Structure 1
């Protein structure tokens, strides 16, 4: 009987520890403050965002084999493209 109670307590503790790590909302808040969504490019199947501090623009891939890949957007001179409001 003691072994069963100990096993239940250990299992519940492990599950609780795993859930606490997944619930933390700090990363999602940081990401939403860091980048601002501009729009979607159907030619490249990617979302266009810009960094709120530097105004540098990026494309985030939506294609299945490289989903989430961020690519720096550059102008005709090779300099980072900046968001102008």
Structure 2
């Protein structure tokens, strides 16, 4: 393996990592920023793209770019959609 490269298995899933993992694995992310990431995720749901991390207060695009190869949003499942409900047939009056 080349020095400086990160495999997909080594990446931090920003949708599931706890504050400690975020702090230890990402550059320029200390305890307050790591906690802010977790709080944002709880309030707004999972990140769809790595770039969405810049929406967290205290995290800018420079931090996202610096850590891009260290992060992933994991395998996002497609939202499940219930089949459309069919209207109940109208009863036919008897003669």
TM-score (norm 1): 0.24
More strand by share: 1
TM-score (norm 2): 0.22
